Structure 1
Amino acid sequence: MHQPEPDVGTRVLHLTQPVDGGVPRVVTDLARAQLAAGFQVTVACPDSALAGELRSLGAEVRRWEATRSPGPSLPGEVRRLARLLDEVRPALVHAHSAKAGLAGRLAVRGRIPTVFQPHAWSFEAVGGTTAALALRWERFGARWTARTVCVSEAERATGERAGISGRWSVVPNGIDTERFSPGTANNADSADVPEAAGPLVVCVGRLCRQKGQDVLLRAWPDVVRQVPGARLALVGDGPDGERLRAGAPESVAFVGAVADSVPWYRAADLVVLPSRWEGMALAPLEALACGRPVVVTDVDGARESLPDALVPHCLVPSENPAALAGAVTGLLSDTALRTSLGDQGRRYVQSTHDVRHMAEAVADVYRELLGPTPKPPVVPTECRESIHS
Structure 2
Amino acid sequence: MLRKSSTEESRLTVLHLVQPVEGGVARVVTDLVAAQVRAGLRPVVACPPGGGLAEGAAEAGARVWAWPAERVPGPRLAREVATAGRLVRVCAPDVIHAHSAKAGLAGRLAVRGRIPTVFQPHAWSFEALEGRAAGLAEAWERFGARWSDRILCVSESERHAGQRAGIAARWSVIHNGVDLGRFRPAPGDATRSARASLPLLADVPAGAPLAVCVGRLSRQKGQDVLLSAWRRVRVPGARLVLVGEGPRGGELRRGAPDGVLFAGAARDVRPWIHAADVLVLPSRWEGMALAPLEAMACGRPVLLSDVNGARESLPPGHLPHCLVPPEDPAALASALTALLGDAGLRAELGSAAGAHARSVFDLTRTSGAVLRLYQELVGQSRPTTRKRTER
Aligned to 1:83: 86
Question: Which of 176, 182, 187 is the equivalent residue of 1:179?
Answer: 182
Establish whether residue 202 from structure 1 lines up as the match of residue 212 from structure 2. yes
Q: Higher mean Cα deviation, 94-103 or 61-70?
A: 61-70
- Is the alpha carbon distance of 1:247 and 1:80 closer, same or farther for their aligned partners in structure 2, counting shifts above 3 Å? closer
User: Separation in 2 of the partners of 1:66 and 1:377?
Assistant: 32
Asked whether the equivalents of residues 284 and 305 of structure 2 are also in contact (C-alpha less than 8 Å), the reply is yes
User: Separation in 2 of the partners of 1:154 and 1:333?
Assistant: 32
Which one-letter code corresponds to 1:227 in the other structure? Answer: V
Question: Which of 312, 315, 320 is the equivalent residue of 2:323?
Answer: 315
1:191-270 correspondence runs (5 A): 191-194=199-202, 195=204, 196-223=206-233, 226-270=234-278
The SS at the match of 1:72 is coil
- Is the alpha carbon distance of 1:62 and 1:312 closer, same or farther for their aligned partners in structure 2, counting shifts above 3 Å? same
Establish whether residue 356 from structure 1 lines up as the match of residue 359 from structure 2. no
User: Separation in 2 of the partners of 1:60 and 1:332?
Assistant: 44
Q: Residue 160 of structure 1: CA displacement?
A: 0.7
Question: Which of 271, 291, 302 is the equivalent residue of 1:283?
Answer: 291
Question: Which of 269, 282, 286 is the equivalent residue of 1:274?
Answer: 282
Measured against aligned partners, the alpha-carbon deviations of 1:31-79 in whole angstroms (never above 9, x if no partner) come to 1111111111111111123212222222111111111111000001111
User: Separation in 2 of the partners of 1:321 and 1:307?
Assistant: 24
Question: Which of 338, 345, 353 is the equivalent residue of 1:337?
Answer: 345
Question: Which of 317, 324, 327 is the equivalent residue of 2:332?
Answer: 324
1:90-109 correspondence runs (5 A): 90-109=93-112
Which one-letter code corresponds to 1:26 in the other structure? Answer: V
Question: Which of 285, 300, 322 is the equivalent residue of 2:308?
Answer: 300
Structure 1: 5+ residue stretches without partners: 1-6, 380-389
Aligned to 1:43: 45
Aligned to 2:3: none
Higher RCO (Cα < 8 Å, 6 or more apart): 1
Structure 2: 5+ residue stretches without partners: 1-8
Establish whether residue 26 from structure 1 lines up as the match of residue 36 from structure 2. no
TM-score by length of 1: 0.92
Measured against aligned partners, the alpha-carbon deviations of 1:203-225 in whole angstroms (never above 9, x if no partner) come to 111111100111111111211xx
Which one-letter code corresponds to 1:81 in the other structure? Answer: A
Which one-letter code corresponds to 2:72 in the other structure? Answer: S
Q: Residue 271 of structure 1: CA displacement?
A: 1.2
Sequence identity percentage: 58
Asked whether the equivalents of residues 100 and 121 of structure 2 are also in contact (C-alpha less than 8 Å), the reply is yes
Q: Residue 169 of structure 1: CA displacement?
A: 0.5
Establish whether residue 15 from structure 1 lines up as the match of residue 25 from structure 2. no
Asked whether the equivalents of residues 230 and 257 of structure 2 are also in contact (C-alpha less than 8 Å), the reply is no
- Is the alpha carbon distance of 1:236 and 1:230 closer, same or farther for their aligned partners in structure 2, counting shifts above 3 Å? same
The SS at the match of 1:103 is helix
Asked whether the equivalents of residues 279 and 301 of structure 2 are also in contact (C-alpha less than 8 Å), the reply is yes
Which one-letter code corresponds to 1:356 in the other structure? Answer: T
The SS at the match of 2:231 is helix
Question: Which of 151, 163, 185 is the equivalent residue of 1:148?
Answer: 151
The SS at the match of 2:220 is helix
Q: Higher mean Cα deviation, 262-271 or 113-122?
A: 262-271
Which one-letter code corresponds to 2:266 in the other structure? Answer: V
Asked whether the equivalents of residues 194 and 272 of structure 2 are also in contact (C-alpha less than 8 Å), the reply is no
Which one-letter code corresponds to 1:214 in the other structure? Answer: D
Asked whether the equivalents of residues 309 and 341 of structure 1 are also in contact (C-alpha less than 8 Å), the reply is no
Establish whether residue 67 from structure 1 lines up as the match of residue 77 from structure 2. no
User: Separation in 1 of the partners of 2:57 and 2:142?
Assistant: 32
The SS at the match of 1:211 is coil
The SS at the match of 2:45 is strand
User: Separation in 2 of the partners of 1:244 and 1:289?
Assistant: 29
Q: CA RMSD in A?
A: 1.8
Q: Residue 309 of structure 1: CA displacement?
A: 2.0
Which one-letter code corresponds to 1:305 in the other structure? Answer: S
Q: Residue 197 of structure 1: CA displacement?
A: 4.6
Asked whether the equivalents of residues 175 and 361 of structure 2 are also in contact (C-alpha less than 8 Å), the reply is yes
The SS at the match of 1:209 is coil
- Is the alpha carbon distance of 1:102 and 1:357 closer, same or farther for their aligned partners in structure 2, counting shifts above 3 Å? same
Which one-letter code corresponds to 1:211 in the other structure? Answer: K
Question: Which of 131, 135, 139 is the equivalent residue of 1:136?
Answer: 139
User: Separation in 2 of the partners of 1:285 and 1:93?
Assistant: 26
Q: Residue 289 of structure 1: CA displacement?
A: 1.2
Asked whether the equivalents of residues 91 and 377 of structure 1 are also in contact (C-alpha less than 8 Å), the reply is no
Asked whether the equivalents of residues 193 and 264 of structure 1 are also in contact (C-alpha less than 8 Å), the reply is no
Aligned to 1:190: 198
The SS at the match of 1:165 is coil
Q: Residue 8 of structure 1: CA displacement?
A: 4.5
Measured against aligned partners, the alpha-carbon deviations of 1:127-163 in whole angstroms (never above 9, x if no partner) come to 1111111111100000000000000000000001110
- Is the alpha carbon distance of 1:378 and 1:52 closer, same or farther for their aligned partners in structure 2, counting shifts above 3 Å? farther
Asked whether the equivalents of residues 234 and 255 of structure 1 are also in contact (C-alpha less than 8 Å), the reply is yes
Asked whether the equivalents of residues 90 and 376 of structure 1 are also in contact (C-alpha less than 8 Å), the reply is no
User: Separation in 1 of the partners of 2:345 and 2:32?
Assistant: 35
TM-score by length of 2: 0.91
- Is the alpha carbon distance of 1:317 and 1:351 closer, same or farther for their aligned partners in structure 2, counting shifts above 3 Å? same
